[in-house]
Amino acid sequence: MRHTVLRFIASRLLQTALVLLAMSFVVYLLIGLMPGDPIDLMISGNPRLTPDDVARLRAVYGLDQPLWSRYLAWLGSALSGDLGASRLFARPVLEVMGPFLVNTCVLMGVSFVLSIVIAIPLGVWAARKPGSLADRGINAFAFAGISMPVFWLGLMLIIVFSVLLSWFPASGTGRGGGWFDAVRSLMLPVITLTIHETGVLLRYTRSAMIETMRQDFIRAIRAKGASESWVMWRHALPNAMLPVVTVIALSFGGLFSGALVTETIFAYPGMGRMIYDSVMGNDFNLALIGLLLATVLTLAANLAADLLYAWLDPRIRLGDDR
């Protein structure tokens, strides 16, 4: 059985590589087709550039070549480990990306964990008595979370907590000031992301639990003398988790795009902002690698979901074609 899992992972990694290749071309094309010539930006920033300088700069950056040959050149160097340099930061892309990546991981990681920790118990509780007051309250909360656009929520939180109450800062990471400041800076962005994510997870957990509780084996467990809590936590939840895990993993992609928006609102220096700034500033290399990284993250999350699902469900783990 072990080798089936390895084969599975191997084939998925191959698929990931192929998707990345395709994505790299698509993104390269899209960025290349965008209006705005980086050389023009340079000229407007430095009017003393002569036409000779311009021609030279074009040649240096390879901008005098057609798109497809530029892509191939990029691909060539990328595969040999050279991901190019960021124009905006005048440093190699990998070096630039590091801190941004870390910040985003912190933001996403905390939101992710928090939303799971909140959503699952609430979802279980709501499923206990569908239609009850508790259930309806929880449902309302979930709908609110899903319906509020992330950017609006972020702005609202800023208005209330930063401007009116001055509890939390509206931007930055507060890194310079030590732990406490870092946490304070993270608060609002995390809350923004978490509220939305919790809403989605809550709905899925609740319906998966309700569905599971309807199955026959639940009655058999009750007949053994199990209390309602025992039934829900020891039997219903493990079974309900199977579909929920898939949803969690798939929502990772959405979490990332939510993070993008949130980072922009809060001027939080994460991947989202980096991608945004690099696209706006026509920094090809950085934007390209940033977007590809986003792709990798989503694909990795999907792979993790499949593996987790297989691990949780013995029917898949031990090979059942029923």
Residues of this chain that interact with other proteins (CB under 8 A) are 215-217, 219-227, 230, 235, 238-239, 242, 312-315, 318-322
Query: Backbone phi, then psi, for 128, in 5-degree steps?
Result: -60, -45
CB of 3 to other proteins, least distance (A): 16
Give the residue with the Cβ less far from other proteins, 13 or 220: 220
CA distance 130 to 114: 24
Give the residue with the Cβ less far from other proteins, 136 or 175: 136
CB of 118 to other proteins, least distance (A): 24
Q: Does residue 219 contact residue 165 with C-beta atoms inside 8 Å?
A: no
CB of 236 to other proteins, least distance (A): 9
CA distance 260 to 276: 8
CA distance 67 to 69: 6
Give the residue with the Cβ less far from other proteins, 52 or 320: 320
CA distances to 160, 197, 232, 274 from 260, in Å: 22, 14, 36, 9
Query: Any residues with CB less than 8 A from the CB of 201 and at least 6 apart, and which?
Result: 115, 116, 119, 120, 123, 244, 247, 248, 251
Give the residue with the Cβ less far from other proteins, 116 or 221: 221
CB of 202 to other proteins, least distance (A): 23
CB of 200 to other proteins, least distance (A): 24
Give the residue with the Cβ less far from other proteins, 114 or 312: 312
